[in-house]
Structure 1
Amino acid sequence: MPTSTPPAPTPTLPLRHRVVLVTGGAQGIGRGVAESVLRAGGSVLIGDLDVEAGRACLAEWDVGDKAQLVELDVSCETSVQHFVQHARDAFGRIDGLVNNAAIAEPHVGPLEALELAEWNRYLASNLTSAFLCCKHALPSLREHEGSIVNIASTRALQSEAHTEPYAATKGGLVAMTHALAISAGPEVRVNAISPGWITTEAWQKPAERHPPKLSHEDHVQHPAGRVGTPEDVGHLAVYLISPQSAFVTGQNFIIDGGMTRKMQYA
């Protein structure tokens, strides 16, 4: 029932006083998410194997203790435990977890030539990693009615040739999202974001940063008129972590400028 009280204004800093963990947060989409969290008033702990890239983030952001870095191997349970414990010790709470770290290269060559070790490497980095981070962060997330965001991919829904390990792990992440949403709710909400073409060249560490080389054709094949950026994903992640999405869980959000909706003929 509507009340007679005036509507409250939308919070300008929806993540104020909230702490968010971002795996693979030093470059690319992960960096875009981490920066969006900071802009929304939150504190962020980035975990990344590339410590040089992580230190560059902290120096460029210059926000003091609101942003911290832990060297993280998401395929190693001990490393994940240390990452989560650091968040508890440094910030006293965990309100959000963004499982972003993954092997980014989807192409592996013909399946009949694929080594089992390579298949398992994708599983460990892209799917088991999210399981480990969720497992160890859930107690703190439950305590603060937090939110998990898994970064999947539109490749969970459509494919190019010779991308089976990547597609399988991203599809598994989408399925794990809705399963965990049922198990962890109502205290913890769990959603996935499936990005399409996101250009990350300008979001690398300084030594590897360069403007993207994109053609007019690259942009116009998207109904939105352009290729995506890490900020686009970051804005959606902030919404899914914030109280503004309190009635949203178990969902997979496609953020691809409409590309997967557009019929394409060679």
Structure 2
Amino acid sequence: MSIAPIITAHDALPLQDRVVAITGGAQGIGRGIAQAVLGAGGSVMIGDLDVEAGHACLHEWNVGKRAAFRQLDVSREASVRRWINAALAHFDRIDGLVNNAGIADPHRQPLHELSLDTWNRYIGTNLTGAFLCSKYALPSIKNAGGAIVNIASTRALQSEPDTEAYAASKGGLVALTHAMAVSAGPAVRVNAILPGWIATDAWKKPQARHQPKLSKRDHIQHPAGRVGTPEDIGALAVYLLSGASGFVTGQHFVVDGGMTIKMQYV
């Protein structure tokens, strides 16, 4: 006679006592993810180019040693190495990594006018940065049996004109995700989130912060009925970093209010 499966309670704090390193974690989506991790019981090491924004996070969060900040340029290997070492010195380990830092502006010159320097800057920050951070964090994450989350974009799947460098960097992140999942598994799970339109105006450093100016049309063009928020990305990141997603790896998840499945006619 088989034993009936039991009802298992959901964990109220799924990242209790877990340490998550988050690049670009002082503003925007990165800050939204960091706050979600803190709300889920975890601790965060945030890295960001903007020192003022990083210190503002620590002041406003007021969570003591559960949060730390160090300036980070993900395109420079030495900076990444120092940032990871600082996280290990402060917390003794890293259980999860969120590769969020990147150049956010997708629009550049037409392809025939795009300079190699601009192309390399996008690839070096958005894609190579994720590689470098994963490279140096991976030994600790393997020991912890943790997870990595890469923040790509719906522009890995669809495009507007003159966005080749950005789209290529984000598409590369999706491919990097499934390659890492195979190489680092089963000890480490690796997944990607592809955000759509996320309003981050209220998630900047204090002096740059304001409520987003969004029209009714902005909201209703989304099947979900609204533009996204950093909390929407943070909620999924917590799931992917926690044991609740233990059978999920190598996947990419679109979080765009349904925009990529809506047929568009001019």
Unmatched tracts of structure 2, length 5 or more: none
Could you tell me which residue of structure 2 aligns to residue 77 of structure 1? 77
Tell me the CA shift for residue 224 of structure 1: 0.4
Distance of 1:147 and 1:2 partners within structure 2:
33
- Quick check: 1:196 aligned with 2:207? no
Q: Residues 142-201 of structure 1, C-alpha deviation per residue, up to 9 Å, x if partnerless?
A: 000010000000000000000000000000000000011000000000000000000000
1:30-50 per-residue CA deviation (whole Å, 9 max, x = no partner) reads: 000000000000000000010
Secondary structure of the residue aligned to 1:194 is strand
Q: Using the alignment, how far apart are the partners of 1:9 and 1:17 within structure 2?
A: 19
Q: Secondary structure at the match of 2:253?
A: strand
Distance (Å, rounded) in 2 between the aligned partners of 1:198 and 1:2: 48
Q: Could you say which residue in structure 2 is the equivalent of 1:124?
A: 124
Equivalent in the alignment of 2:136: 136
Cα gap change, 1:3 to 1:26, in 2 (>3 Å): farther
Give the 3-state SS of the residue equivalent to 2:121 in structure 1.
helix
State the Cα distance separating 1:4 from its structure 2 match: 4.8
Question: Residue 7 of structure 1: CA displacement?
Answer: 2.9
Residues 204/2 of structure 1: CA separation in 2 closer, same or farther (3 Å cut): farther
Q: Which amino acid aligns with 2:131?
A: F
Report what 1:233 is aligned to: 233
Work out whether 1:58 is the aligned partner of 2:58: yes
Q: What is the aligned partner in structure 2 of residue 181 from structure 1?
A: 181
How many corresponding residue pairs? 266
Aligned equivalent of 1:152: 152
What is the TM-score normalised by the length of structure 2?
0.98
Using the TM superposition, give the Cα deviation of residue 265 of structure 1 relative to its aligned residue in structure 2, in angstroms: 1.3
Q: 1 CA distance for matches of 2:33 and 2:81? A: 22
- Partner of 1:263 in structure 2? 263
Q: What amino acid is the match of 2:224?
A: A
Aligned match of 1:68: 68
Residue 217 of structure 1 aligns to a residue in which SS? helix
If the length of structure 1 is used for normalisation, what is the TM-score?
0.98
Deviation at 1:235, TM superposition (A): 0.3
Instruction: Give the Cα separation in 2 of the matches to 1:234 and 1:9.
Output: 22
1: distance between equivalents of 2:50 and 2:5?
51
Which residue identity lines up with residue 235 of structure 2 in the other structure? Answer: H
Letter matched to residue 104 of structure 1: A
Partner secondary structure for residue 9 of structure 1:
coil
- The residue identity in structure 2 corresponding to 1:30 is G
| Deviation of 1:88 (Å) | 1.1
Name the % identity: 66
Aligned residues: CA RMSD:
1.2
User: Partner residue of 1:13?
Assistant: 13
Measure the CA separation in 2 of the matches of 1:227 and 1:253.
Answer: 17
Report the Cα distance in structure 2 between the residues aligned to 1:257 and 1:204, rounded to whole angstroms: 22
Unaligned runs of 5+ in 1: none
- d(CA) in 2 for partners of 1:33 and 1:6? 32
Could you say what secondary structure the match of 1:47 adopts? strand
2:115 is equivalent to residue 100 of structure 1: no
Residue type of the alignment partner of 1:223? P
Q: What whole-Å deviation, never above 9, does each CA across 1:43-80 have from its counterpart, x for those lacking one?
A: 00000010100111111111011011011010011111
1:124 to 1:6, Cα distance in 2 relative to 1, 3 A: same
Q: Give, in angstroms, the shift of residue 8 of structure 1.
A: 3.2
Shift, 1:10, TM fit: 1.1
